[in-house]
Chains A and B, each alone.
Chain A
């Protein structure tokens, strides 16, 4: 069974801290890995997509890495802000079907 695990399930940190969210998956035969954020009652916003041939992607204060051999991806958020508070989901693309982690609920305290 293909599984995606996200640790921690919840995280609360003071504003300004750098933080790392973890995502692990059991099958290294992936096409790509995508990170999303979801705000309460809202849809999903794509943050970063890492192709299987890539090691990392960066967008502003966000950096996502991918290590297929160990089945891990990390999302690094620099200089966190209260507006970063949301649930962060990773999903591996198994050909076209996204297999989802349960998410990390992030709270940034002002």
Chain B
């Protein structure tokens, strides 16, 4: 496997279900990101893990719970979602230089198309 992979590619879940999205990067990067892409809206950054620490959480509802067990893996745990959470969820990774606080180009996975019924 190369680049950034995401599973599953498609997910349909009911509002009472619990599911998890998985992301894996094979690029040796040290920062990973979750984005939400809804129709007709800009890409929304949800969570950032840099050097395995969560460094950003953009006021995301608690029904979304990220987990980053190591620098190569990122999960998004979902529970009691709402229909408006239906969207494309994209994972990305990048290389962050410690102490410089800068992140360069991000490499994205193919996304998980989530439908909440």
The answer to whether A and B assemble together is: no
Residues of B within 8 A of A (CB): none
Chain A positions within 8 Å of B, measured between CB atoms, are none
